Chains A and B, each alone.
Chain A
Amino acid sequence: MYSAYLYIAPFFIIFAIIGLYPAIFSIYLAFQKWNGLSPMIPAGLENFKIVLTDSLFWKAVYNTIVMGIMGTAPQILFGIIFAYLLNMAFLRFRNFFRVTIFMPYITSMVAVALIFSVLFSDHESSLANYVLSLAGLDPVSWTRSEWGTKLAISIMVFWRWVGYNTIIYLAGIQSIPNDLYEAASIDGASKIQQFRHITIPMLKPFIILTVFTSTVGALQLFSEPTVFLGNDAFTRDEAMTIVMYLYRDAFRLQSFGTASATAIILLILITAIAAINVYLSSGIGRKRRNG
């Protein structure tokens, strides 16, 4: 019986060293002034004050939330639509479509960011600007303008992740028993009514799951803007995210105290926003049924 403890011990030992200890040390560090070399100086709430009164921090929060909404919210809508289409009984080449929609997810974030940095470069001749010119629009500076940068990064996040959500929703749709649809069509419910009143409510647990993972992921955005902007990543503010702000404080400015304070604030933000979003998305089915 006691060998069970032996089998689960490795996880807990590793967790204590590289999970728990760093998390607690981070909290301690948030109340110290430290440049990584000289001794730490107790700083009380000074670090939190510095971060919370820094306009760049608030810009980072704003950027993260705006790109989070633009990049992930449409994924849920399109993911459900794609999954619904992929589940159509008559569909041929189903696996081909499934694989192509999923392919971007297999590609690493760095690779995706580099591909998009070329697709969305500032030049008039970049593909994104060429498409705009076909529609009679002016070229956009995708790496130096407030909205151009955010839009390019959001599109990139959407492109990479929508297939992931689609696959989850597809697994969800396939778990819905067929007799529900049969009963509904006997009662004369149209396809669209069935989608609204059966598919969406039955998908709720899967929607909550993806809302949770997308919210947490979006608030931790780092690789995409960093690689997309290359040399400019930490000197410009159009796409600076909270984690980039943290990284810059720690590893560019050697201000580990304020960086740790930022990490704590980020943890609170993630917990709060994820809780709100999960609460909101768990209302989906209910609202539909009453409405």
Chain B
Amino acid sequence: MKIIERARKFSSGKLLVYILLVITSILSLFPFYWMFVMATRPSSAFNSIPPTITPGNMLVENFKKVLNQIDFFGSIWNSFVICAIVTIVVLIISSLAGFAFAKFTFPGKNILFIAILLTMIIPPQLGLIPQYFLISKAGLLDTLPGVMVLFFLNPLGIFLMRQYISKSVPDELIEAAKLDGCSNFRIYRNIVLPIILPAIATVGIIVFTAVWGEFLWQFTVLRDPENYTIQVALAQLSNTRNVDFGMIMSGVFWATVPLLVVFLSFNKLFISSITEGSVK
């Protein structure tokens, strides 16, 4: 009883924990808030001392300037097309391979699986230059498919799928289906796929967000503003002669908000995908 009473009572230790966490949250959130403030202010507001920290009324005007500078919606669309296609392709490749590694026995299985894990250590920059020439030889330089192909390679996806399929798809179910004369592909489509929907969500989120935010490869492959993804287009905003901070922040704000809305609505799913992707 005494212990419970003590826990209920106000303690300075608890207060300290809350204070530390509130300060951390403020430091985490402040740059987002400040991005919003700057996106609603003229560039001149930036010169005032002390700095402006309340929103102004130029939200729409600054965004119009962004639209004059870059093809904002076009590049969002390009990014979306790339991410959507890459995610679907990776999900198909990794769930098929994960299924094979989890539920089949075949010669060389362990060695091949270890080989896949080993490919994760190759740093992406090692192949950058040959990849660039490969893409250009294939006539894919400065095209969206040229960006996509590199991301089709995703060993982590196979690893996560294998883990999930081996623990959640019962062997008996597969045996029973085989006795009923199901082909392997039908087992995959009608039994495995419906069971592994959570893993599909996890891998899908990991792949989509990683490709959405990637910069080096997109920056290397894409030249024509018409083909820019949102990351490459945003990077151009600060390359103008007269840097307009209000305009830059407006571009960043409108590119970030949709992502944050999706994240905040599905935050538990997002966070668990990240921990599953790395803790296992």
Contact = CB atoms under 8 A, between A and B. Distances in A.
Query: Do A and B make up one complex?
Result: yes
Nearest to A78: B24
A127 B184 CA distance: 61
B153 A14 contact: yes
B47 interface: yes
A23 B260 contact: no
A103 B32 contact: yes
A259 interface: yes
Interface string B261-280: 00110011011001100110
A17 to B, nearest CB: 8
Interface string A47-89: 0000000000000000000000000000000000010011010
A2 B28 contact: no
Contacts of A266: 123, 125-126
Given A114-B238, A167-B275, A263-B129, A4 B46 contact: no
Interface stretch (A176-184, A193-201, A222-230, A277-285): A222-230
Given A29-B130, A220-B124, A227-B215, A104 B28 contact: yes
A7 B35 CA distance: 46
Nearest to B46: A125
Interface stretch (B55-63, B167-175, B244-252): B244-252
A3 interface: yes
Contact of A8 (B101, B122, B188): B101
B279 A4 contact: no
Interface of B is mostly: helix
A48 to B, nearest CB: 15
A22 B105 CA distance: 31
B129 A29 contact: yes
B127 A19 contact: yes
A127 B216 contact: no
Interface in B23-67: 24-25, 27-29, 31-32, 34-35, 38, 46-51
A124 interface: yes
B271 A167 contact: yes
A125 B252 contact: no
A102 interface: yes
A135 to B, nearest CB: 14
Contact of A263 (B125, B155, B158): B125
A97 B24 contact: yes
Contacts of B279: 168, 171-172, 206, 209
Contacts of B219: 226
Interface in A104-159: 104-112, 114-119, 121, 123-127, 130, 159
B25 A124 contact: no
A114 B263 contact: no
A103 B149 contact: no
Contact of B256 (A21, A88, A111, A167): A111
Nearest to A36: B133
Nearest to A231: B239
A202 to B, nearest CB: 13
Contact of B17 (A85, A121, A172): A85
Contact of B122 (A23, A90, A109, A118): A23
Interface in B223-258: 230-231, 234-235, 237-239, 243, 245, 248-249, 251-252, 255-256
A103 B259 CA distance: 10
Contacts of B150: 18
A17 B153 CA distance: 10
Interface of B: 7, 14, 17, 20-21, 24-25, 27-29, 31-32, 34-35, 38, 46-51, 93-94, 96-97, 99-101, 104-106, 109, 112, 116, 119, 122-134, 149-150, 152-153, 155, 158, 184-185, 188, 209, 212-213, 215-216, 219-220, 230-231, 234-235, 237-239, 243, 245, 248-249, 251-252, 255-256, 259-260, 263-264, 267-268, 270-271, 274-275, 278-279
15 contacts: A7-B100, A14-B149, A19-B153, A23-B127, A26-B127, A91-B21, A107-B259, A108-B230, A118-B249, A159-B27, A168-B274, A209-B279, A213-B278, A247-B220, A270-B123
- 9 closest Cβ contacts across the A-B interface? A22-B127, A22-B130, A108-B213, A25-B130, A7-B100, A4-B104, A223-B215, A230-B238, A100-B25
Interface of A: 1-5, 7-8, 10-12, 14-15, 17-19, 21-23, 25-26, 29, 36, 82, 85-86, 88, 90-91, 95-112, 114-119, 121, 123-127, 130, 159, 163-164, 167-168, 170-172, 206, 209, 213, 216, 220, 222-223, 226-227, 230-231, 243, 246-247, 250-251, 256, 259-260, 263-264, 266-267, 270
Given A11-B94, A91-B21, A247-B128, 15 more contacts: A8-B112, A10-B96, A18-B134, A18-B152, A19-B122, A23-B126, A36-B133, A85-B20, A96-B25, A108-B255, A117-B238, A125-B46, A209-B279, A231-B239, A263-B125
